[in-house]
Amino acid sequence: MDPNDILDFLHATARSVGAEVTSPWFYLQFGLILAAAGIAFAADTGIRARVDMTSFAMGWPLPLRHFARVLIASASTAVFAALVIVARIAMYHSTWPSRSYLLMVSAKLALAWLVIRLVTSAIRNAFLVKLVSVSAWCVAALSIVGQLDQVIDALDSVEVVLGGLRLTPLVVIKLGLLLIAALWLTNIASNFAESRITRSTDLTPSIQVLLVKMIRMGLLVIAIAIALGAVGINLSALAVFSGAVGVGIGIGLQKIVANFISGIILLADKSVKPGDLVTIGDSSGRISAMKTRYISVAAGDGREFLIPNEDLVTQKVTNWTYTDKNTLVKVNFGTNYDADPRLVCKLAVDIAAAAPRAIKSRTPNCILVEFTEAGMKFSLTFWIADPDGMDNVKSDVMLSLWETFKREGIRVPYPVREIRVRGGALPVETTVEVPS
């Protein structure tokens, strides 16, 4: 747009506004608008005080109930629009139509906001509601005052050409609005697909997560392609950015890409899946979620470890429930040399077999593993059906061993240290005696 045209447009607008403001009918319309706004505010306060929104229209059909609740929430706008429309009709029939132009514009703006509020009430994201509402109302306002075409031409007159790609403020705004709408619809569709997939009993948890991620990524790519095509951007024109994207991935995004690819590999090979009990380095717990970049491991004490997917591919991972949840529990203990080792093994086996979580079909085993200076060392092993709470099972068995040994007169060896100080000064001699 030529700068002279812009100046002429601004001069004409200023003359029009000046002529409107100097007219006495302008102040009459402005007073009526202020009066309508005051009455609408008072009516909105009264309606909200008398209507219980939690029980309002409970017996109505869901769409009608939703419409009524949104209308009550926007009561001030509805009352204001109704009052201004009545004033506009009265002035239209009593004087020249041009003398009620401000009332007509105000009524249309109020109705536009009311319609936009009703439409956007279906959106759950508060930020998205505000963004869509303000954008739609600005477009409606420009259309009502007859300046939409001029603004569109002005936004489309400033351009930046990159290769074969022409970018203007109008294209950027259109692309942003279309992307928001496309991503919102994509989120709805992917959530619907996820709810269907997670209810399927024929799919394993890892396959469910993989399908959900593939659907989300596919819908996202389709939505972006549709939005770009709708504003007239040829996808082949974006080839100029492919080299920059490749360099960016090579320099700073390789970890993100590696974690993403690793996540796909983990979901495909089923080495870990939600619900598995794993040990990765010093972190142990159940996998509660598998994300694009990391997995979440719940430790059971309120903590959750967020472990990058790449670590699961490149490091050693202990999966306690990969093919079989049955877990071998090993308890090491010792006795003095006065105890009968065969009796000790029999008592230990009986205690392990009586444990509530021990698998009855697998007989526990106890062996003598070593003779030491302090006494004899034994190893007791038995199976439980699930590794969850394995430390608690070991503790219960060891407490039972302690109680049984005290009852049978079997003593657990412990070192006794005697310190002798000669002449009231160092050196200090330390001897260790083991009770017989």
Most confidently predicted of 23-27, 37-41, 224-228: 37-41
Q: What is the pLDDT of residues 75-103, one digit of tens each?
A: 888 888 888 888 888 887 787 766 777 88
**pLDDT at residue 286 above 90?**
no
| pTM tops 0.75 | no
Q: Cα dist. 203→261, 265, 284, 319 in Å?
A: 22, 17, 26, 20
Domains of the chain from N-terminus onward: 3-157 (no CATH), 161-252 (1.10.287), 273-319 (2.30.30.60), 327-416 (3.30.70.100)
Task: Determine the number of helices (DSSP H) and then strands (DSSP E) in the chain.
Answer: 14, 12
What pLDDT band is residue 429 in, cutting at 50, 70 and 90?
low
**pLDDT at residue 218 above 90?**
no
CA dist., res. 354 & res. 364, Å (int): 10
For residue 155, the SS3 value is helix
Closest residue by Cα to residue 225 from 161, 175, 167: 175
CA dist., res. 94 & res. 96, Å (int): 7
290 by Cβ neighbours in 10 Å (0-12 / 13-18 / 19+) ranks as: buried
Give the pair of three-digit tokens for residue 344: 């000790």
